[in-house]
Structure 1
Amino acid sequence: MILLNTNSSVVKKFPEKVKEFGKFDLSQQINFTDRIIDRLLKSAPPYKLKQISSVLKNLSSTKKSLINSKILSIQKPFHELTQKQREHTFIKWSTSQYASVRKIYKSFTMLICATFWLNPYNFNPDIGYPGADPEANGSRFSSRNFPKYNFLEISDHDSDIKEFDTIIIGSGAGGSVVAARLARMENVLVIEKGHHYDQCDLSTEQQDGYDKLYELSGGMLTDDSNMYVLAGSNFGGGTTIGWSAFMEPQYFVREEWAKNFGLPYFMEDEYGNAMKYINARLGTNTINIIHNQSNQTLIDGCKKLGLHSDNIPQNTASITHQCGWCSFGCKYGEKQSATMTWLDEAKSNNAKFLKNCYVEKILIDKDGKSQKVMGVEVIINNIKRVKIHAKRVVVSAGAIHSPALLLRSGLKNKNIGRNLHVHPIAAVYGVFPNKEIKTYSGTIMSAISNATENVDGENYGAKIVVGSHHPGFMFANFPWKSNLQHKQLMLEYNNIVPLMVITRDREGGRILTDENGKPRLEYKLSQHDSKSMVAGLLTAVRILAAAGATKIGTCQTVIDDYIVENGVNPLNDPKFDQFLNKIKKVGIPTYQTCTGTIEQMSSCRMGDDPNKSAVNPVGEAWEVENLYVADSSVLPTATGVPSMVC
């Protein structure tokens, strides 16, 4: 049996489980179709559901058509094909000349693989993955006290509330800091569209974490379905699901903002002092880092190649924090998220909080010569509509929702929603059969290489890091190429080091709204940024080879893995050079590369010119007095570091 020859620790320890895994037929799993439908209903907006319905209807049609026979290469309804024929068809679709066909391949393989591996009751134990954090309910959790929050209850009789100085929309990295500062002197209300989960509510299981803490249950995609989009949707926002990495914007980024956008503040001592204050408040440090196997491999590979590497400061209250499950909320409260810090400070100064509260629009007084903010109109628990009045409104809903809210509130500035940057991600992996890597465990993102951060000579390029690769996220980053390849890769899971290439994108996308005012994310990777991404991929592959990987794969569908032959140094191997050349030649083709984003910014760009920016240098909307934006959407360009820090 081929799978038994897979060189991994799981195969050596549990050959009988491997046989069971090899025989497994997903089409025979009870209720899997129901789980697929459930995931679609949670994550896909109406217009995408219509697209999927149209594709499925065409694939199941009994009529012979040009589309099915020539474009899709099938002569009868898809469900009537044998298992081998269906697999062969998907493999053919992956290399189709038609982008629409490749889109079907990518969309359905990602949907099926993600749905399968997010389920804790499948084969997760058999590939060596424990599911929930084994320590989740141990003394590390039970010995601690965590901040407790009370939330406003709006009675059925209240439809018009007039009692706040400032309303802050959003509770993440931007809104929480604003709330902490303003609550010292004003009557503040923080509105969050998501739910609040105490530490005891965090199961640390994948599907539960995505359902509770992420936008659209972690299933959001760009408008063309080519990139996955991960964003927080909970009380605490992206800080709840962040990976503890805390890096300040580099000098050249701040200099660009000051010179090109009329924002000298970013080069002044006041900004530096603000960063010092935040670092002290969060206990940011590198002293207490213990690297997990994946991060150490990145460092080791860089050293052997003479490339830059460094430790990433961690916002963990100056303590060692080895928690690989923080992407599903920090069970131990060691990561200094908004709920552990800024929101707790705001609470101590009598700030009020509303959860499960969707802000439909901002109320604006348009009677006078200048427009002034009046408050907000909200829908609570998807049922009750209420108007809440305030002298000032601060929009901190994140780079996806902040521009959407401004647009549906009637603001006309042409820059609202434009210039969206997303730090697009691509990934490579290396297999180390003689090491138990367990990339999901330990410190998540503690090492970095800036070796390719300046690809174009203008400080745009890519950084190389390690991410939080639990099984579901793994298959957002690496493609299904065949049933055998997929099963082999998962059997190697505990021996894999995945490296992420995070690109500082120069060209931007756009946030639009659909017919219901909900955000749509329009983004296509430019040729310029593709070159940066490829440069990062090539360097990441070389790092893995230098570190001793015996097999290396990429996020590109059409490239076969490179296998290191016994006794051969890959850095001196002509076949390895051919592998690198193919990566460069193939590039980042649409629907043939797994790409995504875990950070979004710049969609309400700050600047000194209303023709080039959405808000002025202090974050106030050009069109409306006392309406401010305070989140990553005001950042003028991609930062190249975690945007929630800036």
Structure 2
Amino acid sequence: MSNQRRTTQQSPSPLSPFQDNNVLTEDQWITLASIVDTIISPETQSIGEITKEAQFKSAVDAIKHHAAVEDEALLSEYLAESATSCPGFREAIHRFLVEQVDSGGKKELLGVLDALTNSRTSWLLTGHLTPFAQLTLRQRERVIQSWATARLQVFRVLFRSFTDMAKAYWTRTSPTLGRVLSYPYTPINHNYGPGFDFPFIVFPPLPYGSTLVPATFETDVLIIGSGCTGSVAASVLARSGLEVLVAEKGYHWKPNHLPMTEKEGMAHLFANGGVTLSDTGKMAILAGSCFGGGGTVNWSASLQLQPFVRQEFARKHDLPYFESSAFQHDMDAVCETMGVGTSGIKHNPGNQILLDGAKKLSMKAKPVPQNTAGEAHACGYCTLGCGSCGKKGPTESWLPDAARHGAKFVEGFQCEKIIFADDKTTKGNKIAIGAQGIWTSRDENSGVSGQVYRRPITVYARRAVVTAAGALGGTALLLQRSGIQNPHLGKHLKLHPVNTLFGVFDKDIMPWEGGILTSVVDEYENINSTGYGCKLEGVSMLPGMALPLMQWKSGLEWKVHAAKFKRMAGWISLARDKGEGEVYADPTDKYRVRVKYDTAKSDQKNIAVGLVALAKIAFVEGAREIHVGVAGVPPFIRRQSVKTYTSAIDASQTGENNGVAAGINDPSFLQWLSRLELFTVNGLPADASQCSAHQMGTARMGSSPTNSVVNSRGAVWNTRGLYVADTSVLPAASGVNPMITGMAVARGIARSIVEDLGLPPTQEAPKSKL
């Protein structure tokens, strides 16, 4: 198929019709609206009680300066905008409550809203006998501000929950923010790639009134999951001559739909409508859930597993494969297929700042190899899908190769359970013979927003069943629903917790442009030779993803802060976590994953080491403001007189040796930095929240059923014909973006399946092409 690019109008990807289900009573909505309209507040000069004249003028001047907006009407509209005045905001909040919040969290939230609606109980939360919605705007603002620093944790949780909600959904629905920032919600004049025409199986609807008989399908190998790992397994197994069916819960979106807007993309491309929250609400987890899985929404980073981690996997967990030449060959092979390299990289300002600052401070740093076949890929929107097909993820490499070798595909398949034969092996092992689930069609327009129909499906697999449904419960919960009993199933969850740091500069950065993650500082990846530490990397800088990570202080301050976004660069401190968590099924919904995870103190300290380093990099590169994503830490604001030098000696050579131009040795900066440095000793504050885009370990590999779920070949203990081939099997955190590690392991497991079935070795897959 031709690789020719074409420019065309982007196709819409509307959401399915929203079913309110009366999740909120009218009184509850009025109270919730009063909360979010305090956080994203209407600010006008004409209402004296709301904003003093001097404050308002200062805000207007700051927005004009940072956003270069001279349109007075736009400025007034932006400042006067409240959260609920934004078209789509109320629907977004209701979708969030219905589709994303688990039953326990929803009950707690509604209870708080009821308490704030009642005069007697409102007093306990606000100090006022008047219901919250009847307070003045400034009274409401002071209440919310008081929650942030309250002694009791319940108030701090309320502050985080409501401010995060308001910031996220205002940023994605505001009709003015994009205009203030000159931010296009999808790329302008985007070159769409041709894509690949996948042969999806479609099951016809049953005649009206028919008995709901499952449709059946037979294949040699069933692979559940189409992401980075499932796609590699599909290619290897199809190349061996096996009939392969890849079944995916999500849907395939052709290039002309990508990248989506943040509103559409979070719903269509990610698990749980965008974000899965841990039970405490302190960990926000991003996981792909679409055809191509995480490979459709990741940031192209293609780092191989470090030698010291390979050694730990091999020796501590008795898995010699990870120190073998076979594993190295598996990593090299997956990189070769996707054209992984650094030759096409053109760093955007944020990634260049990371490299330049690290060099000035003698920190070890390097470009991050990209899976872009050696071509430049300046797409800051790629976390919402790659319309150019420049990112050679599953849908541009492994899945097309599998299709060319006869593989077939099903989308919209929610797998309920794996089915086993009535008989067992002579050793008493259960024999996997397929899977059952519910298939949901597309609508009449080949989308998912119209009328659809559902059918129960049974897939029979003659040779093997492979689950690659993901470490965020996809695989673990499926195995549990299928009757697999193992004390390690769902346990040992690793998340690579991250905290963020943002710099505001004196020039436009346009952070949504260019490659997302093309540089890394790995100076601190192996602190004190423990095997644990942190990496410093770039982060997706789309407003709806990055702005909600920043702290809220007041409604007016937030509007000013958001308007600075075009001059911001952002980075993450990512820890290789020694601590671990657990996934389990929601008691009211067997398909909804719940997460128990609290970042271990040692991992918090390592994250803090990275934040200190990032602050130094931002400062030495001239950041005017430095904002840390840790609750309670104020931003650093550089005085106009402070210039950037790395030492007092550098300053003296300019004739400005007055202690003000001493670079990272500037007294005001060091005083501010000392607060961050305390976290490297004591750990982060109790209310510090983290994010994660990497999930590993919930069906880990090991040497026996007493320490693992699968053996070194990926086979589930005490079964035959059942394998796990995703990052669930990693015995500990990888410490690098896990795509290459996961793909390599999946390739190794797929080779083992071929060998177990008595087939000759599979030929190598060619370099990525459509």
**TM-score when scaled to structure 1?**
0.95
Report whether the alignment pairs 1:541 with 2:598.
no
Match of 1:645 in 2: 740
Q: Which amino acid aligns with 1:373?
A: A
> In the TM superposition, what is the alpha-carbon distance from 1:13 to its structure 2 partner?
4.2
**Equivalent position to 1:517, from 575, 590, 593:** 590
Report whether the alignment pairs 1:264 with 2:357.
no
> In the TM superposition, what is the alpha-carbon distance from 1:202 to its structure 2 partner?
2.1
Q: Structure 1 pair 362/71, CA: closer, same or farther in 2 (3 Å)?
A: same
Give the match's secondary structure for 2:536.
Answer: strand
**Equivalent position to 1:589, from 685, 701, 717:** 685
> 1:215 touches 1:233 (CA, 8 Å); kept in 2?
yes
Give the match's secondary structure for 1:452.
Answer: coil
> What whole-Å deviation, never above 9, does each CA across 1:569-615 have from its counterpart, x for those lacking one?
45122222221222244652343x34111111111111112211111
Instruction: Name the stretch that deviates more: 562-571 or 493-502.
Output: 562-571
Mapped partners of 1:338, 1:21: distance in 2: 41
Q: Structure 1 pair 183/120, CA: closer, same or farther in 2 (3 Å)?
A: farther
**Equivalent position to 2:458, from 387, 404, 421:** 387
Match of 2:719 in 1: 624
> In the TM superposition, what is the alpha-carbon distance from 1:74 to its structure 2 partner?
4.0
Q: Which amino acid aligns with 1:389?
A: Y
Match of 2:646 in 1: none
Match of 1:125 in 2: 179
**Equivalent position to 1:363, from 401, 407, 419:** 419
> In the TM superposition, what is the alpha-carbon distance from 1:177 to its structure 2 partner?
0.5
Give the match's secondary structure for 2:701.
Answer: coil
Q: Structure 1 pair 608/557, CA: closer, same or farther in 2 (3 Å)?
A: same
Q: Structure 1 pair 240/27, CA: closer, same or farther in 2 (3 Å)?
A: closer
Mapped partners of 2:222, 2:737: distance in 1: 26
Report whether the alignment pairs 1:580 with 2:673.
yes
Match of 1:420 in 2: 493
> 2:177 touches 2:563 (CA, 8 Å); kept in 1?
no
Mapped partners of 2:469, 2:84: distance in 1: 41
> 1:8 touches 1:495 (CA, 8 Å); kept in 2?
no
**Equivalent position to 1:284, from 340, 356, 365:** 340
**Equivalent position to 1:59, from 97, 112, 116:** 116
Match of 2:153 in 1: 99
> 1:179 touches 1:351 (CA, 8 Å); kept in 2?
yes
Pairing of 1:38-49 with structure 2 (within 5 A): 38-49=95-106
> What whole-Å deviation, never above 9, does each CA across 1:426-474 have from its counterpart, x for those lacking one?
00111112x2111110011000001221235312111101111111111
Give the match's secondary structure for 1:124.
Answer: helix
Match of 2:354 in 1: 298
Pairing of 1:186-225 with structure 2 (within 5 A): 186-225=242-281
> 1:286 touches 1:313 (CA, 8 Å); kept in 2?
yes
Give the match's secondary structure for 2:109.
Answer: helix
> 1:128 touches 1:493 (CA, 8 Å); kept in 2?
no
Q: Which amino acid aligns with 1:232?
A: G
Instruction: Name the stretch that deviates more: 459-468 or 363-372.
Output: 363-372
Q: CA RMSD in A?
A: 1.8
> What whole-Å deviation, never above 9, does each CA across 1:163-192 have from its counterpart, x for those lacking one?
211110000011000001111211111110
Return the index of the structure with the highest Cα Rg.
2
Q: Structure 1 pair 28/175, CA: closer, same or farther in 2 (3 Å)?
A: closer
> In the TM superposition, what is the alpha-carbon distance from 1:160 to its structure 2 partner?
5.4
**Equivalent position to 1:377, from 436, 452, 459:** 436
Match of 2:80 in 1: 23
> In the TM superposition, what is the alpha-carbon distance from 1:48 to its structure 2 partner?
2.5
Match of 1:149 in 2: 198
Match of 1:404 in 2: 477
Match of 1:559 in 2: 633
> 2:466 touches 2:722 (CA, 8 Å); kept in 1?
yes
Match of 2:25 in 1: none
Match of 2:502 in 1: 429
Give the match's secondary structure for 2:68.
Answer: helix
Mapped partners of 2:341, 2:303: distance in 1: 10
> 1:413 touches 1:623 (CA, 8 Å); kept in 2?
no
Instruction: Name the stretch that deviates more: 268-277 or 537-546.
Output: 268-277
> In the TM superposition, what is the alpha-carbon distance from 1:404 to its structure 2 partner?
1.1
Give the match's secondary structure for 1:90.
Answer: helix
> 2:517 touches 2:537 (CA, 8 Å); kept in 1?
yes
Mapped partners of 2:312, 2:131: distance in 1: 56
Q: Structure 1 pair 267/566, CA: closer, same or farther in 2 (3 Å)?
A: same
Mapped partners of 1:160, 1:26: distance in 2: 47
> In the TM superposition, what is the alpha-carbon distance from 1:347 to its structure 2 partner?
0.7
> What whole-Å deviation, never above 9, does each CA across 1:353-408 have from its counterpart, x for those lacking one?
11111001111236432211121111111832222211311010010111111111
Report whether the alignment pairs 1:169 with 2:264.
no
Instruction: Name the stretch that deviates more: 419-428 or 358-367.
Output: 358-367
Q: Which amino acid aligns with 1:112?
A: A
Give the match's secondary structure for 2:523.
Answer: strand
> What whole-Å deviation, never above 9, does each CA across 1:490-513 have from its counterpart, x for those lacking one?
111011111111111011101111
Mapped partners of 1:446, 1:70: distance in 2: 49
> 2:700 touches 2:730 (CA, 8 Å); kept in 1?
yes
> In the TM superposition, what is the alpha-carbon distance from 1:70 to its structure 2 partner?
4.1
> In the TM superposition, what is the alpha-carbon distance from 1:337 to its structure 2 partner?
1.3
Report whether the alignment pairs 1:530 with 2:586.
no
Mapped partners of 1:588, 1:54: distance in 2: 30
Q: Which amino acid aligns with 1:78?
A: F
Mapped partners of 1:265, 1:173: distance in 2: 20
Q: Which amino acid aligns with 1:151?
A: F
Give the match's secondary structure for 2:515.
Answer: coil
Report whether the alignment pairs 1:457 with 2:529.
yes
Mapped partners of 1:93, 1:603: distance in 2: 36
> 2:631 touches 2:685 (CA, 8 Å); kept in 1?
no
Mapped partners of 1:203, 1:258: distance in 2: 39
Report % sequence identity: 31
> 2:78 touches 2:176 (CA, 8 Å); kept in 1?
no
**Equivalent position to 1:77, from 126, 131, 140:** 131
Mapped partners of 1:596, 1:370: distance in 2: 40
Mapped partners of 1:29, 1:133: distance in 2: 22
Report whether the alignment pairs 1:600 with 2:701.
no
> 2:508 touches 2:567 (CA, 8 Å); kept in 1?
yes
Match of 2:47 in 1: none
Mapped partners of 1:456, 1:415: distance in 2: 30
> In the TM superposition, what is the alpha-carbon distance from 1:548 to its structure 2 partner?
0.8
Mapped partners of 1:441, 1:607: distance in 2: 43
Match of 2:384 in 1: 328
> 1:439 touches 1:469 (CA, 8 Å); kept in 2?
yes
> 2:505 touches 2:624 (CA, 8 Å); kept in 1?
yes
Q: Structure 1 pair 120/151, CA: closer, same or farther in 2 (3 Å)?
A: farther
Report whether the alignment pairs 1:615 with 2:710.
yes
Q: Structure 1 pair 309/15, CA: closer, same or farther in 2 (3 Å)?
A: farther
Q: Structure 1 pair 318/203, CA: closer, same or farther in 2 (3 Å)?
A: closer
Give the match's secondary structure for 1:378.
Answer: strand
> In the TM superposition, what is the alpha-carbon distance from 1:162 to its structure 2 partner?
5.1
> What whole-Å deviation, never above 9, does each CA across 1:10-44 have from its counterpart, x for those lacking one?
44343623343233333544663333112322322
Q: Structure 1 pair 72/603, CA: closer, same or farther in 2 (3 Å)?
A: farther
Q: Structure 1 pair 74/462, CA: closer, same or farther in 2 (3 Å)?
A: farther
**TM-score when scaled to structure 2?**
0.80
> 2:625 touches 2:638 (CA, 8 Å); kept in 1?
yes
Mind listing any 5+ residue stretches in structure 1 that lack a counterpart? none
Count of matched residue pairs: 636
